Chain A
Amino acid sequence: MLMEEIIAKDSYEINGKVFKSRLLVGTGKYTSLELMQQCLEASGTQIVTVALRRISLEKKNEKNIFDYIDRNRFTILPNTAGCFSVEEAVRVAHLAQASGISNFIKLEVIHDEKTLLPDPVATLEATRILVQEGFIVMAYTSDDPVMAQKLEQAGAHAVMPAGAPIGSGQGILNSNNIRIILERLKCPVLIDAGVGTASDVAKAMELGVVAVLLNTAVALAKDPLYMAYAMKQACEAGRLAYLAGRIPKKLYAQASTPEKDF
């Protein structure tokens, strides 16, 4: 089979919905909505995250983000970014649902503004509530394997440990924890946050996560469009390397050329 066919057939599911692109891309921080639109296209993504905020009363008939996102092409994943409590996150999820745009929710309950680290206890409680209410919950969490398991038990449809703090660009800080999470969970596991460049995406995919969610690494790159395409390639390369199965690491050299019979 041609490699192109293998890539075309490779897919994963979240609550029965099939996705081929393993890159989820955020829509924040771009210098313009036109650039965002081009980057989404270049990344090959099928799922894009959006946030909810109060509208500006000063700017009449302002362009909306959905004037730049084709809803027939992309699955919209509203987030609860900026929520610091269970109540706030549940409210934002309700607002997102009321808009009629999606039943998916990227659940994110943050502990404090300085670290933007998730509040695992509040995230767990909000997961229980929103799953009960029929949301498709993709829960952003820390890379703690115990919490990841608890979120799965609470009914999360996908668990999304952070590679590193949001927007930090530090990559995958604890790949051992991600490996443990992957061993223990049956639901889709995605890396969300912390990616800095293409090699971080490749490394995440090589670990075996089903997908990677990123935003800042593309939006704030010197050339976001180049980076969006680089992320697409890295994601596919990492996925193929995972499927191929890497060689084990060894302490000593092992010649690749026959050493005898000169």
Chain B
Amino acid sequence: MELIINGAVKNFPDEMSVEKLIETLGVNKNFLVVEVNHEIIRLTDDQIKKKLNSGDQVELIQFVGGG
């Protein structure tokens, strides 16, 4: 399936959920914030297990240094 992750098109052979995507990409989950099609998905919600659709726009956002 094709997902747009942080603006880049990525292809995955299998179906993906947010949970599986985070695992597959090896993302540090420390205060990670996820948006799917501009909607915030809380990592504590069951929504992270929901199947993503091809063409979904996923944003993976984290804290960095800033003033």
Hey, what's the 0/1 contact readout for B8-51 against A, CB within 8 Å counting as 1? 10100000000000000111101111010000101000000000
Residues of B within 8 A of A27 (CB): 65-67
How many Å lie between the Cα of A81 and that of B67 in the bound state?
Answer: 8
A256 lies within 8 A of chain B by Cβ: no
CA distance A101 to B35 in the complex (A): 17
A98 to B40 CA separation, bound complex (whole angstroms): 7
User: Is B63 in contact with A51, judged by CB distance below 8 angstroms?
Assistant: yes
Q: Which residues in B have their C-beta under 8 angstroms from that of A67? A: 30
Please pick, from B6, B40, B60, B63, the residue contacting A66 in the complex, using a CB distance under 8 A. Answer: B63
Query: How many Å lie between the Cα of A98 and that of B43 in the bound state?
Result: 9
Please give the distance in Å from B36's CB to the nearest CB on chain A: 12
* Contact status B62-A64, CB under 8 Å: yes
Contacts of B26 in A (CB 8 A): 60-61
CB distance from B28 to the nearest CB of A (A): 5
Asked if A26 meets B62 with Cβ closer than 8 Å, knowing A94-B40, A95-B40, the reply is no
Stretch at the interface among A8-16, A28-36, A145-153: A28-36
Assess the A55–B27 pair: CB atoms within 8 A. Answer: yes
Query: What is the CB-to-nearest-CB distance from B35 to chain A, in angstroms, rounded to a whole number?
Result: 7
Partner of B33, one of A26, A36, A51, A52: A52
Q: For this complex, into which size category does the number of interface residues on chain B fall?
A: 20 to 34
A245 an interface residue at 8 Å Cβ cutoff?
Answer: no
Given A52-B33, A94-B40, is A65 in contact with B67 using a C-beta cutoff of 8 Å? no
Q: Is the CB of B59 within 8 A of A99?
A: no
Q: Which residues of A contact B64 (CB under 8 A)?
A: 28, 50-53, 65
Specify the chain B residue showing the minimal Cβ separation from A98: B40
A sample of 18 inter-chain contacts (CB < 8 A) reads: A26-B65, A26-B67, A51-B67, A52-B33, A53-B64, A54-B60, A55-B61, A57-B60, A60-B25, A62-B28, A67-B30, A94-B40, A95-B61, A99-B31, A99-B63, A101-B63, A213-B67, A214-B67
